[in-house]
Structure 1
Amino acid sequence: MDATPGSAPGPDAVPDADAAVVAGEPVPSDRIALDRDRILAAALAHIDEQGLAGLTMRRLGHRVGVEAMSLYRYVPGKEELLDGVVELLIGDLRMDPDVLHSPTHGWQDFLQRLAHGVRRVALAHPRAFPLVASRPPEAPWLRPPLRSLEWVDAFLSGLLEEGFSDEAAVAAYRSFTSFLLGTLLLEVSAHGADVGPLDVVDDHQADDVEASRHATVWRLRHDLAHDASASEFEVALEALLERLTLIRSELG
């Protein structure tokens, strides 16, 4: 049904360039400067405000003032759009001045800064943060929320510089990411985020050429791919029980 005269357009309305010209308003068309960064920023803003479920290419086009077809010049489809939103979130971590790319003040300080940086991203974009967990990573043996080759390489290289063995660095990476993901998904769910169900990652989507450019990740890729879920669960459970034992002794 067509909108009645004077009524506000719905979220799926197609921008009417002719009507805009007649009304003396800015023209919602391809004549508006458009690029991939602007589209991704608009998509992230939409998710922040309305959640992921309502994001469509048509609504996104309406938000930036163009027809949906114009978006496909910059993002081939919704899957690529969501991957781009994840890139923006990871970019926020890169721009955080408190997050270090190497352990200049010891590995504990390095991990604390990194953990708090990821948490700040989650709190700034709680409705978008589950995408960090659900979108396929740059390689199948990478784990969210540290899901980019750049950050995993920085993490592993930093711990190796601090005297960790290969095995210890990989174990620390797994424990650290499990802690962050579980804690932060619970936290953003309290802020209204939809945290399930998550996408299934296709193990064949790895880009070996890109991964091989990150020397530490590439060298340890087989260790990273090893499934140690059961032992990690037991270690985490034991750590929890030890913590509860300490609490019991302290609080009586």
Structure 2
Amino acid sequence: MEAKAVREPLSRERALAAAVTLVDAEGLKALTMRRLAADLGVEAMSLYYHLPGKNGLLDGLADTVIDEITTAVAATAVPDADWRTSLRQRFLAAREVMLRHPWAPGLLGSRPTIPSGLFAYYDAILATLVGGGLSYRLAHRALHAFGSLALGFAQEVFSPAPAGGSMDVGATEADLSALAATLPHLTAMVEAEVHAVEDPTLGWCDSQVEFTFTVDLLLDGLARAQERQP
């Protein structure tokens, strides 16, 4: 007699892992409690025991992304690195997570609640800055300057797409071209800044090259500010 297959019990972790897989493949718009339940082979109501509705599900996804960033940072940390190298590596590790989950920047920017691991994540950044000799005042200003770069993405200046969506780059550039007479500098910038095909992007103006440039620019500026601090 064949042994009966044992179904893995439903858990919050299993549900969120399935949600990440679904959203990676089809985007946030495809994520519903009913669809997730079907993918897991369970009744939709059973999900509510672990995730209280769609908002609870989205909050859980945000928690999962922060946990993944924290794990990636720990795995790529450079032992005995100076503060600039350490933070640079941290931000680039977070960037790799965002590139795996391009829906994550929109999700993190839209949640009304703070993901559970976010305070600890930023506390570690502060520890790196202060441990490197920056005052708490300068470290505080650094956090403001870093913004979302610390989480691996740059907030777009022009981002007409809804949270979690993707922007039609061609349509946006066409709109600007049509306004060339009234927006000469924006049009010239778009024409000059053509992203290389191999340069990974998370948005119209959030490429890997631009992300790394901005991180390095801020770290260099902080190092100069450190020299001037009392």
| Equivalent residue runs for 1:96-115 within 5 Å | 96=72, 97-99=75-77, 104-115=80-91
Q: Which residue of 1 aligns with 2:68?
A: 92
Shift of residue 116, structure 1, vs aligned partner: 0.3
Deviations 1:90-149 (A, max 9, x none): 11122221146xx8311111111111011101101112332122213439xxxxxxx701
Number of residue equivalences: 161
In 1, Cα distance between equivalents of 2:128 and 2:60? 27
Cα pair 1:99 1:113 within 8 Å, conserved: yes
Q: Which residue of 1 aligns with 2:27?
A: 51
Q: Return 5+ residue gaps in structure 2 as ranges.
A: 168-213, 219-230
1:45 is paired with a residue whose SS is helix
Cα pair 1:75 1:81 within 8 Å, conserved: yes
Which of 128, 140, 146 lines up with 1:170 in the alignment?
140
Which of 145, 149, 153 lines up with 2:119 in the alignment?
149
Q: Which residue of 2 aligns with 1:126?
A: 102
| Equivalent residue runs for 1:18-37 within 5 Å | 33-37=9-13
Q: Which residue of 1 aligns with 2:129?
A: 159
Bigger radius of gyration among the two: 1
In 2, Cα distance between equivalents of 1:178 and 1:26? 45
In 1, Cα distance between equivalents of 2:133 and 2:108? 30
Shift of residue 179, structure 1, vs aligned partner: 4.4
Deviations 1:136-175 (A, max 9, x none): 3439xxxxxxx70111111112211111111100111111
TM-score between both structures, scaled by the size of structure 2: 0.60
- Identity among equivalent positions (%) equals 39
Q: Which has the higher relative contact order, 1 or 2, with Cα contacts under 8 A spaced 6 or more apart?
A: 2
In 2, Cα distance between equivalents of 1:170 and 1:137? 22
| Equivalent residue runs for 1:46-85 within 5 Å | 46-85=22-61
Q: Aligned-residue CA RMSD in angstroms?
A: 3.4
